[in-house]
Amino acid sequence: MTQKQQNPLVRLWQYTSNYHRTIGVASLYSILNKIFDLAPPLLIGMAVDVVVEQENSLLADWGVTSVMTQLLILAVLTAVIWAGESLFQYLYALHWRNLAQNIEHDIRLDAYDHTQRLDMAFFEERSSGGLMAVLNDDVNQLERFLDVGANEILQLLTTIIVIGAIFIAIAPEIAWMTILPMPIIIWGSLRFQKKLEPRYARMREQVGILNSQLSNNLGGIATIKSFTAEAHELARVGVESNEYRTRNREAIALSAAFVPLIRMVIMVGFIAILVAGGRMVIMNTLEVGAYSVLIFMTQRLLWPLTRLGETLDLYQRAMASTSRIMELLDTESHVNSGDEHLPAAEVKGEIVLEDVMFTYAPFAENGHYDKLSASGSPISYPTIINDLSLRIAAGQTAAIVGSTGAGKTTLMKLLLRFYDITEGHIRLDGHNLRDLQIDDLRQAIGFVSQDVFLFHGTVQENIAYGTFAAPMAQIIAAAKLAEAHEFIMALPHGYDTIVGERGQKLSGGQRQRISLARAILKDPPVLVLDEATSSVDNETEAAIQRSLERIAVGRTTIIIAHRLSTVRNADVIFVLENGKLKENGRHEELVAQEGGIYAGLWQVQTGAAAHHAL
Ligand code: GTP
Ligand code: MG
């Protein structure tokens, strides 16, 4: 909690502790470059001094009497100073830019890795577009600041200090005229920045909303087209985009006023020096050369100060982005790994559930779920798994059936520890799931999900996903068992065919078989098939069925299916209703139960089949 309230700059500083040395070196180059950059007005002053005062010039006071030699010295000084300025410019640009790239890279990987390890419940609450905005836009924003902003702030400070020092050295009587506006400008800039901050935060927030809208729409493009909802969607995107424009406008209204205002304040100092300095020259209390230095220096002050607005702008955006990145990094997961090591090779596959209760509750930052809605009325989250106890012996084939929404998939998500149960215990080979290392647990289970997800890439890569180093022969063997080999060979490039994003170039049944092959290749001690053959035709299903009977030997297999014909050979069938275990036993036993749920379902399905046949 305390960390969250910390200043984002402090957080960023702590975060970049590996780079403090490089930051120091880069800062030094920035400062040196600026010092060299500020020297030319002094050279101009000296040149004026040489041509006006000649044998009485400053350089003459230092022992160089010849005017030509004086000019020569100035020429050499100029060459040295300009070369130095160029050198340090190169060095600071090199260092800051590389630093920006390195920090950006680190923070992006860190934030991504942290995010991908967060609870499933977290992803239910946050849109992927919103997360993308943080992982991409915010990280880039930070890079932009480190790239140019940090250097500009340092150089501005150097400018103010060096010019202030020169003024005090040359003409202390009138130096205050330029120095006086300084605190006013800085104070004003900081106030201005405070005002701008919430406006940028609101803008960034809207970027996330807009992003999620866009990515959602692109994902659902087929639905949009089929419902000819293009105009509707355009209007919805229009609303969000307009809101973004409005919020940006609010920020612009303020930030655009900054430079003109600063110029007006500096103008006062400039005119004062112009007049007061001029008077002093006429009254012979100030050298002409010194007077030119003052005039040019005041000019030099103007430029970086007008950029102060932009720099603070950049700073402000970067800090808003840093806050959002840090907030993501500070998000803690609640489903945490245990310590017990259980290699997949040693898993026998006995699964026991004891009095399991489960409720989907929204992801809560602090681990405490909202008990009240925004309007103050109490929220009760429905119980999804209700006092469920069951046992699947090692090596058994078990089936789970039940009406849609009964909690079958949820049960499998609990087995994979995507969520933690609220009460009771789930054990694998006698180990409480919470005690096991989460990677071990998940490696022991092959899960063919109800909603198949394929990655953009080739068929081969998709089958080998998770078993990345598998040799081609094994990949083909797995594909054959999943009845996928034949259609894969018929694809334009066989196993090298690109499946498209989410596998959209394949049919539903083809995607299912690839995902089945993926689980078979993994060769896990526990295989979970959630409606794994629901999209294939009866013939293919029967063929897969035969393969599965071979695969199921020596491992625990859990099959979830609506088509009861696919589960009739299971060792044990569990009938789930509203998260409660209603019946269990073998097919024949359940069918024989007069008035039983399973018997009823069986009747409907076989009756319907008979009906079809007619
Ligand atoms: P079918 O797959 O349709 O046969 O249903 P199922 O038995 O697999 O149901 P599932 O376990 O997916 O869902 C049970 C209940 O949990 C449903 O009423 C859903 O509303 C709810 N539910 C399922 N998944 C999620 C989830 O990821 N988050 C939340 N909050 N609720 C979920
Ligand atoms: Mg399901």
Proximal ligand: closest to the CA of 419: 1
pLDDT of amino acid 2? 44
Proximal ligand: closest to the CA of 413: 1
Neighbours of 4 (CB within 10 A): 11
Q: For residue 89, report the distance from its CA to the centre of ligand 2, in Å.
A: 62
pLDDT of amino acid 365? 65
Q: Whose CA is nearest to atom 24 of ligand 1?
A: 410
Proximal ligand: closest to the CA of 410: 1
The residues pairing with 432 across neighbouring beta strands, listed in sequence order, are 427
Q: Whose CA is nearest to atom 28 of ligand 1?
A: 360
Atom of ligand 1 nearest to the CA of 361: 30
Q: For residue 451, report the distance from its CA to the centre of ligand 2, in Å.
A: 9
Residue ranges around ligand 1 (CB below 6 Å): 124, 360, 384, 402, 404-410, 450
Residues of the chain below pLDDT 70:
1-5, 365-374, 608-614
Atom of ligand 1 nearest to the CA of 407: 11
Q: For residue 411, report the distance from its CA to the centre of ligand 1, in Å.
A: 9
Instruction: Please return the burial class of 145, using the count of CB atoms within 10 Å of its CB with bins 0-12, 13-18 and 19+.
Output: buried
Torsions phi, psi for 563 (to 5 deg):
-75, 105
Q: Which of 28, 11, 7 is CA-nearest to residue 151?
A: 28
pLDDT of amino acid 367? 53
d(CA 415, CA 241): 42
Q: Whose CA is nearest to atom 17 of ligand 1?
A: 405
Proximal ligand: closest to the CA of 124: 1
- Ligand 2 (ion): residues with CB under 5 Å are 409, 450
Q: Whose CA is nearest to atom 26 of ligand 1?
A: 360
* DSSP letter, residue 425: E
Atom of ligand 1 nearest to the CA of 120: 27
Q: Whose CA is nearest to atom 31 of ligand 1?
A: 360
d(CA 341, CA 202): 46
Q: For residue 409, report the distance from its CA to the centre of ligand 2, in Å.
A: 4
Atom of ligand 1 nearest to the CA of 409: 8
Q: Whose CA is nearest to atom 30 of ligand 1?
A: 360
pLDDT of amino acid 374? 66
Atom of ligand 1 nearest to the CA of 406: 7
Sign of the CA dihedral running 447, 453, 459, 464: negative
> Candidates 122, 356, 384: which one to mutate for ligand 1, based on the most atoms within 8 Å of Cβ?
384
Q: For residue 45, report the distance from its CA to the centre of ligand 1, in Å.
A: 80
Q: For residue 449, report the distance from its CA to the centre of ligand 2, in Å.
A: 9
- Which own/partner pairs from 74-83 qualify as long-range (CB within 8 Å, at least 24 positions apart)? 74/43, 74/46, 74/47, 74/50, 77/43, 78/40, 78/43, 81/36, 81/39, 81/40, 81/43, 82/36, 82/40
Atom of ligand 1 nearest to the CA of 403: 4
d(CA 421, CA 359): 8
CA separation (Å) from 510 to 408, 453, 462?
Answer: 23, 12, 12
> Candidates 124, 360, 412: which one to mutate for ligand 1, based on the most atoms within 8 Å of Cβ?
360
Q: Whose CA is nearest to atom 2 of ligand 1?
A: 404
Proximal ligand: closest to the CA of 386: 1
Atom of ligand 1 nearest to the CA of 408: 7
Q: Whose CA is nearest to atom 8 of ligand 1?
A: 409
